[in-house]
Amino acid sequence: MSRISKGRYVARFAQSEQDLRAAQALRYRAFPRPSAGQGAAPERAGLDADAFDPLCRHVLVEEAESGRLVCCYRLLPLAGGAEISRSYAAQYYELSGLSEFEGPMVEVGRFCVDPDLTDPDIPRIAWAALTRFVDANGVRMLFGCSSFKGTETEAYGDAFALLKARHLGPQRLRPKVKAPNVFRFAQRLRRKPDPKRGLRAMPPLLRSYLMMGGWVSDHAVVDRELDTLHVFTGLDIGAIPAARKRLLRAAAG
């Protein structure tokens, strides 16, 4: 992916250890948790870092004028479903249904925007950069974990009911339960969702995936360490509506 400039912002790959540290610092702010950094070496204090960082390409979105980092995410490219066990998501979901998927896949992780900013142009350029990477590498599927803040399921009743009603993944691909603590919303919820309330309660990244034809697991993992509920999310590139593809590629230049 080459450097992308749009308005006030620039998207590029991290090129140095300093770039990676900046992304980890932003992630630390965006994904706060009580245990973060405890017991870490002094040089790692205030950073959200894990064993997957060295395996990934890291995308940075910065203010063009100041160089301030405003958004970041990481990409873990896989040759196909046979490598799915290497993914971050495989720690939490049993992914054998995807093991025979043919074609390049990319896990998108730690997607975050500076919590002090709300400019919609920031996620737009982030998606433009991802679109360029997908097209350049012939990627056939994006996947990852989409996180809801907190671990109390009651706050997201309409959101999970809406996922059950409209957005469950194909049975043959759908992840099975692996994590010890999960919320089986597809089994437990019987309510009819309020679509507007449900969409409002969903994380912006998940809404973006769903608008493009993405699908989710039938359960959410309760991750108390990160203080989140997350659902496995998949997006078959071939299923993205043509009009949406044109918009994404226009933004990617």
Q: How many CA atoms lie within 13 A of 147 on its CB side?
A: 20
Amino acid at residue number 36: A
Q: How confident is the model at residue 252 (pLDDT cuts 50, 70, 90)?
A: confident
pLDDT at 42 over 90: no
DSSP 3-state assignment of 79? coil
pLDDT at 187 over 80: yes
Give all domains of the chain, ordered by start, each with its CATH number.
4-252 (3.40.630.30)
pLDDT 10s digits, 131-172 = 999 999 999 999 999 999 999 999 999 999 999 999 999 999
pLDDT 10s digits, 12-23 = 999 999 999 999
Q: How confident is the model at residue 6 (pLDDT cuts 50, 70, 90)?
A: confident
What whole-number distance in Å separates Cα of residue 189 and Cα of residue 191? 6
The two beta strands, 105-113 and 141-149, are parallel
Cα dist from 206 to 44, 57, 77, 104, whole Å = 29, 21, 20, 21
Sign for the pseudo-dihedral over CA of 239, 240, 241, 243:
negative
